[in-house]
């Protein structure tokens, strides 16, 4: 499994590196680090990613906690569905939405200072705060009931409850979430380039894109990609040091059900603020779309064809990604059981960090490897699906990892004792306790792949338009209004798919 | 049940028939950019018009831009399916020429609308345009009258531009500044820099932000206002005419050396400079057609500014100096 993963990531890179030995290409130059510009780029990438991550995750802890404390909140499912949306909006649309809200003609104008680190942070928090909420929330659902009861008997206040009951569980998933969001911000591209205000705000990802697309210096692109991977590995090691493997106990977990008027208002306020922050840009899109040529855009047959393409890519990638992630996690759990914790962490790490290898590098590399042997045009879909599944892997590992480890710790001996394995073990032991994180993982990857643009645009073809690609085509043809309609349709589709998958696979909440 | 299976049988036979028909007609593959093939670009109309007369299938493959097309061709080498590459511009022709991937077309350009005579045995132009700063007349009453004025006036209008590393107009402005300011262009950029609201990756982002009112002017084409006039009956937008002249972009096509159908490819290039193709260009690609003909240009194009004199650096110096100029720009803009 691990070998296959390595092959999928490293083979394309090797293919690109090999090009630098051919005539007509730039030769491999290892002294690229001596460039002062590049050093600035690396520094800026790390700095903006760090700030964005902290500003997204710290408030997300409070908001997720607020959701956990209010299990009977009206519209709770809808709000949580809303929180899954920002992840899928193509970056160019997010830029427009952010400008609609904070731009000079917007609802909350902040003027020229939008362009620079402010704009980057606003957009990144919009993307990642809701994601962090979604990923952290299950931790509260895993708190055993008798912990709450014990806390109550001991007369703990809110802070003490957080410190002694919630934090130990949170601590297990927090490092992973921090790492995931750090990677998302580190590799952010269009947001940084458009809202960053100019080349002062350039990230390594931009430099990779430039060397591959503009200078066509594949070797440099691979070196930069490796540099980015290395940076990420470093951060990953640091965050994983924080991580503590859970002490698992067998207990019934139920949502928190205690009413406290003061903190209830506080929590409601937090949710309201987060909802406004996430909702406003989305609302501005909706308003623009309703204002646009709705009938004309929706009557276009090609829109629906693109919708079908988008849907099939999203679902296939999600299925592939979750299957791969499942086996990877099983492998890491079995390693952990054998006492090889270090090896287990390494497997997790490999699965989590593939995200920072730019899809453009993997895609171009795959092209180089495949094009002498097959007709690449008929391979567009498989490649797009494979790359998207790969990019989704860190999300699968994040959603499924903690639950899978708990499951193994609780039930592995029992399964051995009962001689349960294979399908039966999946059916009777793993499925009931893992279906919820599984549902979230599938839904996230599907939605992520549906909003992806990178790879399909790279290969280019006459008949493989997706909604995301269509948005770019419309923007390129002055059709801003139609593009907004397409973007909203993509959003609604994602919302539908997300809710459906999470419900069908994840089952009823609190069931 | 029987009728269903016979239905399926008929379907299969007719499908097979279709495939065999397709195999009999030649297939001409054209690599071009995405916005050419998109439903709103010239692609669909061009395909219909050419297929009506050639008894062939025209397959338009959309890649992201000219650089992507050249890279793709390089990577594919002898295995390339492409017969024609359409949509690289004069900033890339030097590189394309030295790659040895293109064959001679053997055609001339009668009735050329280009400001300078065209002589090139590998590439043939199909349209051209001029870069310009576009503004909203209701928002900006008196736009600058020259590039120099735009640069010198520190209280001047705010701007949205594109990155020369990732966008064609972005590179166009870089060359425009070089042509006008020469060795002083780094100082000019330094003066301009505080008024640049943001530098976007591509044209779409900058133009979208401009339409949302984020700056007074956006780097685009002199022909952009024609879109608003024709498609939206909106006359608020105009391009500022600069006294030094406007930098030119010429888009060309060429026949791929490894093509097995050079005759058909030649027929396509001939079609490309004929009126049937040229009249599609103004209202789909929003550029000037390369060949003047009867009623090729819509009346609204008369309202556009006169961009003369047309500025253009020779392809060799662009190819040699581009990297250094971009680095210089980066240095100034990163301060």
- The string of pLDDT tens digits covering residues B38-54 is 888 899 999 999 999 88
**pLDDT number for residue A501:** 85
Which chain B residue has its CA at the smallest distance from A116's CA? Answer: B198
Best B38, B237, B324 member to test A by mutation, with max A CBs in 10 Å, is B38
**pLDDT number for residue A473:** 82
**pLDDT number for residue B59:** 92
The per-residue DSSP string of B37-77 comes to HSTTSSHHHHHHHHHHHHSSEEEEEEESSHHHHHHHHHHHG
Mean pLDDT of A388-392: 88
SS3 B262: helix
The two tokens of residue B272 are 């490309």
Identify which of B259, B323, B291, B263 has the alpha carbon closest to the alpha carbon of residue B91: B323
Euclidean distance between CA atoms B267 and B280, whole angstroms:
18
Which chain A residue has its CA at the smallest distance from B75's CA? Answer: A368
SS3 B160: strand
Q: What is the gyration radius of the CA atoms in chain B, in angstroms?
A: 22
Best A202, A476, A481 member to test B by mutation, with max B CBs in 10 Å, is A476
pLDDT in tens, A16-65: 777 766 666 666 666 666 677 788 888 999 999 999 999 999 999 999 98
Whether pLDDT at B331 is above 60? yes
Mean pLDDT of A290-294: 82
**pLDDT number for residue B150:** 96
**pLDDT number for residue A510:** 45
CA distances from B243 to A399, B143, B308 (A): 61, 12, 9
CA distances from A497 to A141, A239, A275, A285, A493 (A): 24, 32, 21, 20, 6
Structural contact between residues B279 and B295, judged by C-beta atoms closer than 8 angstroms: yes
> Do the chains contact at A460 and B163, CB–CB below 8 Å?
no
Q: Is the ipTM of this complex over 0.90?
A: no
Q: Mean pLDDT in chain B?
A: 88
Of the candidates A100, A197, A469, the beta carbon closest to that of B212 is on: A100
Residues of chain B contacting A96 with CB distance shorter than 8 Å: 208-209, 212
> Do the chains contact at B75 and A457, CB–CB below 8 Å?
no
pLDDT in tens, B137-146: 999 999 999 9
**pLDDT number for residue A222:** 86
B21: pLDDT confidence band, cut at 50, 70 and 90? very low
Whether pLDDT at A497 is above 90? no
Percent of chain B with pLDDT over 90: 66
Residues of chain B contacting A469 with CB distance shorter than 8 Å: 34
B82: pLDDT confidence band, cut at 50, 70 and 90? very high
Whether pLDDT at A404 is above 70? yes
Q: What is the gyration radius of the CA atoms in chain A, in angstroms?
A: 23
Whether B189 contacts chain A with CB within 8 A: no
pLDDT in tens, A415-427: 888 888 788 888 8
Whether B78 contacts chain A with CB within 8 A: no
Host H or E run for residue B238: strand B237-239
Of the candidates A37, A40, A460, the beta carbon closest to that of B34 is on: A460
The two tokens of residue B300 are 């609204």
Whether pLDDT at A115 is above 90? no
CA distances from A384 to A123, A184, A309, A327, A448 (A): 26, 19, 11, 22, 13
Mean pLDDT of A125-132: 92
**pLDDT number for residue A487:** 86
HSE (CB half, 13 Å, CA atoms) of A193? 26
pLDDT in tens, B147-172: 999 999 999 999 999 988 888 899 99
**pLDDT number for residue B13:** 44
Whether B60 contacts chain A with CB within 8 A: yes
Residues of chain B contacting A473 with CB distance shorter than 8 Å: 34-35, 38-41
> Do the chains contact at A475 and B330, CB–CB below 8 Å?
no
B1 to chain A, closest Cα gap in Å: 30
A394: pLDDT confidence band, cut at 50, 70 and 90? confident
Whether B201 contacts chain A with CB within 8 A: yes
Residues of chain A contacting B62 with CB distance shorter than 8 Å: 460-462
Whether pLDDT at A249 is above 60? no
**pLDDT number for residue B130:** 97
Mean pLDDT of B207-231: 93
In this structure, is the dihedral angle defined by the CA atoms of residues A283, A285, A286 and A287, taken in order, positive or negative?
positive
Structural contact between residues A313 and A388, judged by C-beta atoms closer than 8 angstroms: yes
Mean pLDDT of B127-133: 96
Whether B40 contacts chain A with CB within 8 A: yes
Whether pLDDT at B62 is above 50? yes
A261: pLDDT confidence band, cut at 50, 70 and 90? low
HSE (CB half, 13 Å, CA atoms) of B123? 26
Can you give A206-270 as a three-state secondary structure string? HHHHHHHHHCCCHHHHHHHHHHHHHHHHHHHHHHHHHCCCCCCCCCCECCCCCCCHHHHHHHHHH
**pLDDT number for residue B2:** 41
Whether B334 contacts chain A with CB within 8 A: yes
Whether pLDDT at A216 is above 80? no
Burial class (CB in 10 A: 0-12, 13-18, 19+), A39: exposed
A95: pLDDT confidence band, cut at 50, 70 and 90? confident
Residues of chain A contacting B227 with CB distance shorter than 8 Å: 478
Whether pLDDT at A170 is above 90? no
The two tokens of residue B275 are 């009126």
Strand partners, B86: B253
Whether pLDDT at B11 is above 50? no
> Do the chains contact at B35 and A103, CB–CB below 8 Å?
no
Mean pLDDT of A360-383: 79
Whether pLDDT at B7 is above 60? no
CA distances from B276 to A394, B268, B296 (A): 52, 12, 9
Mean pLDDT of B96-120: 92
**pLDDT number for residue A259:** 53
CA distances from A45 to A185, A472, B202 (A): 8, 26, 21
**pLDDT number for residue B5:** 45
HSE (CB half, 13 Å, CA atoms) of A338? 10
B152 to chain A, closest Cα gap in Å: 20
Q: Per residue in A409-423, is it b (16+ CB within 10 Å) or e — as a string? A: bbbeeebeeeebeee
What long-range pairs does B227-231 form, CB within 8 A, spacing at least 24?
Answer: B227/A478, B227/B286, B228/A478, B229/B300, B229/B303, B230/B283, B230/B298, B230/B300, B231/A478, B231/B283
Which chain B residue has its CA at the smallest distance from A18's CA? Answer: B75
Strand partners, B256: B102
Whether pLDDT at B274 is above 50? yes
**CB pairs < 8 Å spanning A and B:** 147
Euclidean distance between CA atoms A235 and B161, whole angstroms:
35
Of the candidates B41, B158, B198, the beta carbon closest to that of A198 is on: B198
Q: Mean pLDDT in chain A?
A: 81
B133 to chain A, closest Cα gap in Å: 16
B235: pLDDT confidence band, cut at 50, 70 and 90? very high
Residues of chain B contacting A40 with CB distance shorter than 8 Å: 334
The two tokens of residue A181 are 């969001």
Mean pLDDT of A9-20: 77
The two tokens of residue A288 are 């623009």
Host H or E run for residue B197: strand B196-200
Whether pLDDT at B251 is above 90? yes
Mean pLDDT of A211-238: 83
HSE (CB half, 13 Å, CA atoms) of B298? 17
Which chain A residue has its CA at the smallest distance from B211's CA? Answer: A480
**pLDDT number for residue A10:** 77
Euclidean distance between CA atoms B209 and A480, whole angstroms:
10
**Which residues between 99 and 128 in chain B have a beta carbon less than 8 angstroms from any beta carbon of chain A?**
99
B230 to chain A, closest Cα gap in Å: 12
B10: pLDDT confidence band, cut at 50, 70 and 90? very low
Highest-confidence range of A324-333, A490-499, B251-260, by mean pLDDT? Answer: B251-260
A186 to chain B, closest Cα gap in Å: 17
Euclidean distance between CA atoms A81 and A265, whole angstroms:
22
Can you give A195-207 as a three-state secondary structure string? HCCCCCCCCHHHH
Whether B323 contacts chain A with CB within 8 A: yes
Which ranges of A338-479 does DSSP label H, i.e. alpha helix? 341-353, 359-370, 380-418, 422-425, 431-450, 454-459, 467-476
Euclidean distance between CA atoms A151 and A256, whole angstroms:
12
Mean pLDDT of A221-232: 86
Percent of chain B with pLDDT over 70: 92
Mean pLDDT of B68-76: 85
**pLDDT number for residue A508:** 62
Euclidean distance between CA atoms A282 and A131, whole angstroms:
15
Best A208, A453, A477 member to test B by mutation, with max B CBs in 10 Å, is A477
Structural contact between residues A449 and A313, judged by C-beta atoms closer than 8 angstroms: yes
Structural contact between residues B105 and B254, judged by C-beta atoms closer than 8 angstroms: yes
- The residue ranking higher by pLDDT, A298 or B121, is B121
A132 to chain B, closest Cα gap in Å: 28
Of the candidates B34, B163, B203, the beta carbon closest to that of A473 is on: B34
């Amino acid at each position: 499994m691990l070998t296959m993963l390595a092959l999928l990531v490293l083979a394309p890179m090797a293919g690109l590196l090999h090009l630098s030995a051919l005539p007509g290409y730039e030769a491999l130059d290892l002294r690229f680090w001596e460039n002062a510009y590049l050093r600035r780029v690396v520094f800026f990438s790390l700095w903006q990613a760090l700030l964005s991550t902290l500003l997204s995750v710290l408030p997300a802890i409070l908001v997720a906690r607020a959701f956990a404390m209010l299990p009977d909140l009206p519209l709770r499912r809808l709000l949580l569905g809303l929180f899954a949306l920002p992840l899928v909006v193509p970056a160019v649309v997010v830029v427009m939405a952010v400008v609609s809200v904070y731009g000079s003609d917007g609802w909350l104008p902040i003027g020229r200072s939008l362009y620079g680190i402010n704009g980057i942070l606003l957009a990144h928090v919009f993307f990642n705060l809701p994601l962090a909420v979604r990923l952290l929330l299950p931790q509260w659902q895993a708190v055993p009931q008798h912990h709450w009861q014990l806390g109550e008997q001991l007369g703990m206040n809110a802070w003490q409850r957080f410190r002694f009951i919630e934090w130990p569980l949170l601590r297990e998933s927090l490092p992973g979430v921090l790492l995931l969001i750090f990677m998302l911000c580190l590799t952010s591209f269009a947001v940084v380039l458009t809202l960053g205000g100019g080349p002062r705000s350039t990230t390594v990802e931009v430099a990779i894109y430039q060397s591959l697309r503009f200078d066509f210096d594949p070797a440099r692109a691979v070196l930069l990609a490796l540099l980015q991977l290395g940076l990420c590995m470093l951060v990953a090691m640091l965050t994983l040091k924080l991580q503590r493997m859970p002490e698992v106990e067998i207990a019934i977990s139920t949502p928190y059900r205690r009413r406290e008027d003061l903190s209830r208002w506080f929590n409601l306020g937090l949710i309201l603020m987060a909802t406004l922050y996430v909702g406003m840009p989305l609302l501005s899109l909706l308003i623009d779309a309703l204002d646009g040529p709705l009938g004309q855009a929706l009557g276009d047959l090609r829109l629906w064809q693109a919708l079908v393409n988008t849907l099939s890519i999203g679902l296939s990638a999600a299925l592939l990604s979750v299957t791969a992630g499942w086996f990877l996690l099983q492998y890491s759990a079995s390693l952990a059981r054998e006492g090889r914790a270090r090896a287990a962490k390494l497997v997790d790490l490999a699965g989590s960090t593939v995200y920072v290898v730019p899809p453009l590098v993997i895609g171009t590399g795959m092209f180089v490897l495949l094009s002498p042997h097959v007709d690449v045009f008929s391979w567009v879909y498989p490649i797009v699906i494979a790359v998207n599944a790969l990019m989704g892997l860190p999300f699968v590992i994040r959603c499924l990892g903690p639950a899978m480890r708990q499951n193994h710790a609780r039930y592995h001996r029992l399964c051995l004792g009962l001689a349960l394995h294979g399908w039966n073990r999946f059916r009777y032991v793993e499925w009931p306790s893992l279906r919820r994180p599984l549902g979230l993982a599938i839904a996230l990857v599907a939605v992520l792949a549906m909003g992806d643009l990178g790879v399909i645009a790279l290969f280019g073809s006459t008949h493989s338009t997706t909604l995301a690609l269509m948005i770019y085509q419309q923007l390129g043809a002055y059709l801003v209004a139609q593009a907004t309609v397409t973007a909203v349709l993509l959003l609604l589709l994602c919302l539908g798919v997300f809710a459906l998958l999470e419900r069908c696979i994840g089952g009823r909440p609190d069931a | 049940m029987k009728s269903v299976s016979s239905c399926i049988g008929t379907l299969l036979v007719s499908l097979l028939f279709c495939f065999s028909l397709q195999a009999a007609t030649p297939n001409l593959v054209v690599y071009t950019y995405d916005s050419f093939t998109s439903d709103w670009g010239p692609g669909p109309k061009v395909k219909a018009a050419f297929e009506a007369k050639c008894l062939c299938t025209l397959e338009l493959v959309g890649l992201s831009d000219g650089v992507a097309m050249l890279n793709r061709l390089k990577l594919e080498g002898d295995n390339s399916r492409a017969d024609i590459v359409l949509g690289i511009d004069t900033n890339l022709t030097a590189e394309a020429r030295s790659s040895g991937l293109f064959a001679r077309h053997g055609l001339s350009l009668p009735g050329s609308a280009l400001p300078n005579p065209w002589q090139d045995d590998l590439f043939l132009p199909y349209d051209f345009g001029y870069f310009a700063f576009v503004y909203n007349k209701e928002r900006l009453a008196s736009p600058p009258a020259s590039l120099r004025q735009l640069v010198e006036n520190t209280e001047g209008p705010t701007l949205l531009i594109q990155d020369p590393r990732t966008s064609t107009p972005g590179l166009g402005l870089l060359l425009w500044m070089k042509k006008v300011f020469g060795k002083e262009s780094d100082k000019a950029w330094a003066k301009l820099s505080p008024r640049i609201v943001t530098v976007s990756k591509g044209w779409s982002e900058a133009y979208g932000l401009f339409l949302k009112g984020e700056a007074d002017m956006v780097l685009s084409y002199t022909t952009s206002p024609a879109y608003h006039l024709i498609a939206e009956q909106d006359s608020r937008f105009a391009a500022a005419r600069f006294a030094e002249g406007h930098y030119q972009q010429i888009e060309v096509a060429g026949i791929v050396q490894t093509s097995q159908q050079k005759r058909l490819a030649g027929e396509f290039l001939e079609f490309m400079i004929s009126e049937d193709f040229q009249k599609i260009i103004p209202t789909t690609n929003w550029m000037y057609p390369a060949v003047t003909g009867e009623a090729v240009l819509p009346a609204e194009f008369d309202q556009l500014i006169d961009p003369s004199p047309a500025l253009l650096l020779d392809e060799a110096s662009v190819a040699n100096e581009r990297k250094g100029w971009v680095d210089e720009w980066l240095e100034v803009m990163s301060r």
